[in-house]
Structure formats: structure tokens, C-alpha cells
């Protein structure tokens, strides 16, 4: 049986935002609230894992003085004036 496709970061984040909106309305029954909370935790974990994978993928390989490859984290300077 094929594995279920994991949603993209954007899909997970959009669904998480939808759940938060539903919960903030305060109209869910307790059972529905617990189910939405559980789904939200799962989605938040998926988003966190996606961000961690992206961070690792953005690490740059550079060579040190001995010609050895070393990993250097990618640093992005923040825009000035913000």
C-alpha cells in the first residue's frame, strides 16, 4: 500500500491557521476542540520539521585551508530599516 503523501509546509501552515481560527471563535464542542488541538499539534510538529530540514539544506559547504570540506551555516543579513 503506498505511503500517504506528507503535506507541504505551506499546506500544513494554512491548515494550522484555519484550526486556530476555528478554535478562537469559541463555538466548538469540547470533543471537537480536543480533536482540533491534536491535529494542530501534529501540524505544528510537521512545520517545525520542515523548517529544520530547510535549514540543514541551506548550510553551505566550504573548504578550509587544508582543502577539507566543512559545513558553514547560511546567514542572511536582515534588511536594514526594518
> Residue for cell digits 501534529?
42
Q: How far apart are CA 41 and CA 58, in angstroms?
A: 26
Is 19 in contact with 9 (CB distance < 8 Å)?
A: no
Q: What is the pTM of this model?
A: 0.68
Every domain of the chain and the residues it spans: 9-72
Q: What is the pLDDT of residues 13-24, one digit of tens each?
A: 999 999 999 999
Q: What is the pLDDT of residues 52-63, one digit of tens each?
A: 888 777 766 666
Amino acid at each position: 500500500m503506498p505511503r500517504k503523501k506528507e503535506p507541504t509546509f505551506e499546506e500544513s501552515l494554512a491548515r494550522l491557521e484555519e484550526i486556530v481560527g476555528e478554535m478562537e471563535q469559541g463555538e466548538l464542542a469540547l470533543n471537537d476542540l480536543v480533536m482540533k488541538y491534536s491535529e494542530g499539534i501534529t501540524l505544528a510538529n510537521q512545520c517545525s520539521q520542515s523548517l529544520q530540514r530547510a535549514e540543514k539544506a541551506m548550510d553551505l559547504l566550504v573548504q578550509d585551508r587544508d582543502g577539507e570540506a566543512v559545513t558553514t551555516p547560511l546567514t542572511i543579513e536582515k534588511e536594514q530599516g526594518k
